[in-house]
Amino acid sequence: MERRVCFILVFLYLFFVFQCFCEVSPDPKMFFRIRVADEATSRGIPLVKLTTLTNVVHYTDSAGVVAFYEPSLMNKEVYFTIESDGYSIEKDPYDGYGKILNVIAGGSAIITMRREIIAQRLYRITGTGIYHDSLLLGDAPPIKAPVINANVCGQDSALCTIYKGRLFWVWGDTGHPRHPLAGNFKSTCGTSLLPADGGLDPDVGIDIEYFRDGDFVRHMVPLPGPGNPYWLGCLLTVKDAAGRERLLAHYAKVKPLMETVGRGIVEFNDEKGIFEELRQYPLDEVIQPNGHPFTYTEGGVEYFYFFADGFYRTPSRYDAVIDHARYEAFTCLKEGERFDGAKSRLDRAPDGALVYSWRKNTSPIGQKVQNQLVGAGLMKPNEKWFGPVDVASGKEILFHGGSIAWNPYRKRWVMIFNEAFGTTLLGEIWYAEGDTPLGPWMFAQKIVTHKKYSFYNVVQHPPFAKENGREVFFEGTYTTLFSGNENPTPRYDYNQVMYKIDLADMRLILPVPVYWLKNSKHLKHFTGDNIEPWVTERKIVFLAPDRQAQGTVPVYEYYEGNSPRLSTKEPSPPPDEAWHVAFYALPAGSDAAATGTTPLYEFVNNAEGRRYYTINKGEALPGYNLSPAPVCLVWRYPRKFNPYTIMPKQERDVRPERHK
């Protein structure tokens, strides 16, 4: 009898131990499913915080769901506070922002939120538990590694390029679950298939295949010396003289407090699967490229451009990319000058005009340097070339890194960039358009915002674009770093989050340049391919939308007499010669004049049957009289900078297929 009892006890003990050490999947029926959806698209919203009155906190996963199980709260009506940066919910009867849900095992509820931001949050790309709650609920996630991939629990700042037919990814510091110092601080890399070659739809996710050593990611820049972090930038693919693709990047060797102690260029070794150093360059080198490269052709030469609060370029040839002496900076300093505050020497023409150009061995002039030059009295505010402005308030936005790419839908260059010191230190993302890579970058629209969280180092992904570029995908690093927030979001913190914008959204219709064209009878927008080859000069007259934005009306251009006429009334009957919508503008009598708007005046010479248009009311030419009422309200261009004095027609290749 005693033996039987002992046997049973031993059996029960072993069974208990076995159960403890076996991975047992919980029954999905024990959970209460909560789905939070965008009321406009019905898509699940990631990163929504739900909090009970007992301070139990859950965040929706990348499918927008929560698997809720709290024994003390099951089979009860439970109040959840619901919040997410950029999304809102109507006030409840208790003057709060939440919902009362009947929490039942196996039950479900759907909550809808209104998206206040323009960008749509899609999913988390990296880290653990991307589809944590979906798996608990028995759902089938769309990616291969929905729980953990190569033991990566956090990743900083993504770079991406196409290399040998695949997307090649680079990230900075990468966390391991074992210990804060067990991570990889010498760059992490991976690849994924392009959507057109069998990769996932970018609306759904990305299947990343990491370069590994054992169960963790590989140190991709294992350069000799102390164990300082190595961060990569300027990732690009270029062909050598033999036509072979080469993968290159610039590196920064960094020690604590983010002090750079080494710089150079590395190349990917396909056989070893790591980056190897090609050459170092001095820390005090005046030209230090950074940013996400893109190509642009001038004068028959294709260049790599790099922008990070200062523009750099080098010919898009292997020998030029690895030769630091071939790089040029966009600047208004004299050749060979370094920026030296109030002692800086600016290049001016005999008439006093500031001269911008591409120069070797010369400091670049970005927004921060411009503002210092203005403060020192060496530059006037209207001489600045870069300084994006909030289209709503007219306030200049302090740029802090971003990404520029050619957009075939807009036939313009699109910039998506970070603001420094906005409503948060690094949590605001903006959208802007330029007719050239140099702009003019004038008005911008905020597309992402965070209350007290960073979302930095954003990069757009042209290979993911849909509808000929109408849908633009971009990602950034979501982190408490630099935010002052001491409560990191579980699983999401220090990882990459994907967003997208639809450029057909009326809120993204911005005023863009309208040009006076020498030898041309018309005002028109330049959209990359509609400037006649015989036009040798163009001047920015004002700015106005080229699509109908909210509150705007079309401005028609047609011939009447001996010159074109502008009118907000469609010509009736139509004139003999062709007529078109020249641009869109606010009605002249608008009660809601936007920031930066000004009347567009008409002057008429009745004797000759001619007209001309200007925003300067007092510049009447002899024989011309001011019409009684302005034509409309347009937007002022407050700068002297004109990119076409730097990029004249004969040195440009405007074919969209040349822009990558």
Residues 267 and 396 in one domain: no
3-state DSSP call for residue 5? helix
Residues 359 and 229 in one domain: no
Residues 435 and 467 in one domain: yes
The last residue of a domain, from among 384, 419, 442: 384
Residues 529 and 586 in one domain: yes
Residue 93 lies in a domain: yes
Give average pLDDT by consecutive 10-residue segment, the chain, 660 residues: 49 41 73 98 98 97 98 96 96 86 97 97 98 97 97 97 98 96 95 97 98 97 85 96 97 88 96 96 92 92 93 97 95 96 95 95 96 97 96 95 96 96 91 95 97 95 97 97 91 98 97 80 53 60 94 90 86 70 91 82 90 87 92 95 70 36
Residues 414 and 313 in one domain: no
DSSP 506: G
Residue 16 lies in a domain: no
- Cα dihedral: 75, 79, 83, 88 (round 10): 110
Reference 582, options 615, 557, 545; nearest CA is 557
Residue 21 lies in a domain: no
Residue 137 lies in a domain: no
Q: What is the pLDDT of residue 94?
A: 76
Residue 424 main-chain phi, psi, to 5 deg: -130, 170
Using alpha carbons only, what angle is made at residue 107 by residues 105 and 111, rounded to the nearest 5 degrees? Answer: 125
Alpha-carbon torsion 167, 170, 171, 174, what sign? Answer: positive
Alpha-carbon torsion 394, 398, 400, 405, what sign? Answer: positive
| Residues 437/658, Cβ–Cβ less than 8 Å | no
The last residue of a domain, from among 279, 309, 326: 279
Q: Count the domains in the chain.
A: 5
The last residue of a domain, from among 279, 299, 322: 279
C-alpha distance from residue 660 to each of 240, 289, 358 (Å): 18, 19, 21
Transcribe 337-352 into DSSP letters: PPP-GGG--B-B-TTS
DSSP 462: G
CA–CA separation, 184 vs 190, rounded Å? 14
Residues 223 and 336 in one domain: no
| Residues 193/209, Cβ–Cβ less than 8 Å | no
Question: 46 is written with which tokens?
Answer: 């990631």
Q: Which residues are registered as beta bridge partners of 504?
A: none
Question: CA-based Rg of the chain, rounded to a whole angstrom?
Answer: 29
Transcribe 634-660 into DSSP letters: EE-------GGGTS-GGGB---GGG--
Residue 267 lies in a domain: yes
Reference 330, options 279, 372, 384, 373; nearest CA is 384
Residue 343 main-chain phi, psi, to 5 deg: -90, 0
| Residues 422/404, Cβ–Cβ less than 8 Å | no
Instruction: Using the structure block, give the residue that is written with the tokens 């679950």.
Output: 177
Residues 213 and 313 in one domain: no
Q: What is the pLDDT of residue 559?
A: 81
Residues 440 and 467 in one domain: yes
What is the residue type of 63?
Answer: A
Residues 306 and 271 in one domain: no
Residues 226 and 293 in one domain: no
Domain that holds residue 213: 149-279
Residues 416 and 517 in one domain: no
Residue 223 lies in a domain: yes
Residue 140 lies in a domain: no
| Residues 476/47, Cβ–Cβ less than 8 Å | no
3-state DSSP call for residue 371? helix
Question: 41 is written with which tokens?
Answer: 């698209």
Given the DSSP bridges, would you call strands 120-124 and 154-155 parallel, antiparallel or unpaired? unpaired
Question: 216 is written with which tokens?
Answer: 């963790």
Residues 51 and 170 in one domain: no
Residue 131 lies in a domain: no
CA–CA separation, 415 vs 85, rounded Å? 22
Task: Find the CATH number of the domain harbouring 74.
Answer: 2.60.40.1120
